[in-house]
Structure 1
């Protein structure tokens, strides 16, 4: 009944984008007794661990930075009333000067203050951010193309696998038919010879020859289909392994883009680049306000010195966040944004940890399933750990 089930089994659907985050470990078509296949499968798992670990290392620094921002908000909120009043006094002076400059800008068609200060907060990293987002968008499109192509190839090979299984089933049936027909012909010829004393040697020779040729032809096609089926199974397994690698990159890229869009308050590199050019023009116009800028710089230094004395790790950040120092609602908004960014980073770190753990478990399971190769697998793991 096995061949009957294979004949009528359902085809596996092509994976959609929402399924790309799910890794698939399959050992179908992998012969672990063959060194090349065994090593290739283990190396694939180890490469997944290495890539996930690399991503975790890159994310840890940004996660620490965002956490330090949150710690600063706690330190400022916990200041005694007298110290907080002094901070608010300086912040109020700075905010007043900013308002004067804003009133001048409103007289002309200028860049919105919210956009200007949002970019100003990250002025030193905007160009790098634009390039990162542009590269991420380009890389994401390439990954999607690769995943669509791999899905198409996998579907094509699975379709071919079903064709080969059907072909093998048909060849088995034809072999049975030819053999039955040959036996019936031989029996009839024997009956004609002995019952009717007819000379049937030529007919017997032709029947046996034709049957042998037909059965040989069917057997050759059956064996060719079997060999091709093995090759197709191996190819499907290789595609699945490659999909796993690309899926990891797809998820990491999606989560990175989600974080960058949130960090730079944009939805595309083109939009951010347009805002950046507007900002540069605006900045050039504001050079004429040298006196106001000098006063702003003075109070900024005062604010930084004050906050630095209160265990604030990054006092420079609060130069552009005076509204948050004066208004608790603004401070709540900043904390909400930082918590969101940290959640995105944590989600990405957890995913990569899960990827690494899944790959490790797969390697451990293979070592347990094939204990005679455990030492070899352990040696490969130790080489990658170096």
Structure 2
């Protein structure tokens, strides 16, 4: 087993007893004090126990003093004469009320985002005009879309009619070719009948010429009418295209302006901006009230601090954050009870560490007495450790 297990050895039958874990046991039966290394190690471990306990005591003493000071302040406050206490409670009451108002504002769930608030505050002077402009752009944009849709329908109708006229004119040209071809064939047949078969074909020539003349005339008239209508349709289509281009330019400019205004005011629509504006005005008033409450609260904090500094209170600034306890006796009692429990716990820790340090000191003194030959060496180690601990 190692040196530490020998140094802090416990009885075997108490090995699982947690109460024994708190007891520091020194056992030097197996230590050879004639051996310089073992002797120095044993004394050094005792000194380390003293040093650790002392450092812990210093920390605990500071906390213990603070708690004691707080309890003393409570007693001083409760011992104040009635007029001074009423004055103190009056200041504390106003401070608590203002802090409650501030906490309600901070805890409000539907608070406006700071980014939205500061953006609208930046454009506060022009926000109403911005809402009107954005509303106008959205309404005008809707009308332009309707115009574009109407023009598009009209252009498609004219395009369909132009396709129909082209088909009709192609058909008429085909019919004209058929009529001419049929006329030529009729003439050839009549020529054959006249010169081969010696038949009288004068009437046939007249009928063929009359038929082809009528057919070509009707076809030509219809073709001319269709061509005239096609020309009018093409003119109308061109006019519609020009008009669409003008409307498209207005649409793009209006859309760009709308997008710019939405980016500028950080909104999706005029309606959303209007709702945000209403929320901003309400938020602005609430923030103003909050700022006034904070300023008043700070004033009463200074008043409370100044007033309490006139009495024998060690830490008046501590009561600025505990003003509610000055007004509620039950809270003051609970606070005192908690502080007393904490002080008792600290006292227990301090007594324990003080006992550890004292036990280690007595152990070192006992070793020096039992081994006087090494007393000067042990004394030098104690002095050196004390100097190092002070530097630490």
The two structures have a TM-score, normalised by structure 1, of 0.48
The two structures have a TM-score, normalised by structure 2, of 0.47
